Amino acid sequence: MARPTVKAVLLSPQRPLGDKPLLVLGPSLGTSTLLWAQAGALLGEDVDVVAWDLPGHGISPAATETFSVAELADAVVELVDSIAPGARFHYAGVSLGGATGLQLGIKHGERLKSLSVQCSGAKIGTPEGWLERAETVRTEGTPVMIQGSAQRWFGPGFMDREPELSSRLLHALRDADRFSYAFCCEALAGFDVRNHLGSISVPTQAVAGAEDTVATPAFAEEIAEGITAGGGTASAVTLEGVAHLAPFEAPAHVAELLRSLIAWTETRGAGK
């Protein structure tokens, strides 16, 4: 295994970094920084917002060998150090990006100010299911995932209400590197941090979509309960009408949740 390389897009206005809190945003499998574009823009006056792409997705280079979710977390820290060396930051991520956030909290907690884990879990799916998907995509390419992903990603009626927006995100899936997508699946196959949640000490919110069939609200509850059992501060919230991509489906609601978490963390001194 080797640490992959990830690249990022600035979603807030161009300005010198450091005067405002830094928020780093992580994607779900098959998407790109477009996932966070609307929510990031809503937050951009208050915080510096940087969103990263998974290997072989968006602007990040393709992976050449297998990697773990923990190594994705290492790559995120390396990315932050390339932007703002040694900086502490707030982090929010969806699905695989949320799993990466949990690994950040476990392995790099000293770098985090707060953590928002969205539409994710301490373990997602089964190893067998992920390995089967990896093999399918390696053989047939990412377009084979479009129909199923469209069904999982969006809540009822979203694609009818936002046809152009949802189509753009599905195009990101179509354009993703098949081998990198497969490596991401294999990383998820090996991901299970349920026994390590108690080591996360940064303020954490776990966000779930009521319509999510991948990471149900029970997953968010498990995260919050695991962290609080270890003495940490965590809460779980469920968004009605939302499936697997909360910041894409409900950007204003997600932005407000993040704004509240960041403001609370900064005010109480934990963000200093």
Residue 37 reports pLDDT greater than 90: yes
Q: What is the pLDDT of residues 213-235, one digit of tens each?
A: 999 999 999 999 999 999 999 99
Residue the block writes with tokens 């695991």: 226
Confirm if 101 and 116 have CB atoms less than 8 A apart: yes
Look at residue 18 in the predicted model and tell me its pLDDT: 84
Lowest mean pLDDT among 1-5, 222-226, 260-264: 1-5
Look at residue 104 in the predicted model and tell me its pLDDT: 98
| C-alpha to C-alpha distance for 8 and 10, rounded to whole angstroms | 7
Q: What's the CATH number for 8-267?
A: 3.40.50.1820
Q: What is the dihedral of CA 143, 123, 265, 27, to 10 degrees?
A: -10
Q: What is the pLDDT of residues 38-78, one digit of tens each?
A: 999 999 999 999 999 999 999 999 999 999 999 999 999 99
Look at residue 272 in the predicted model and tell me its pLDDT: 44
Q: What is the pTM of this model?
A: 0.96
Residue ranges per structural domain of the chain: 8-267
Confirm if 200 and 109 have CB atoms less than 8 A apart: yes
How would you write 53-119 as a 3-class SS string?
CCCCCCCCCCCCCCCCHHHHHHHHHHHHHHHCCCCCEEEEEECHHHHHHHHHHHHCHHHEEEEEEEC
Confirm if 4 and 74 have CB atoms less than 8 A apart: no
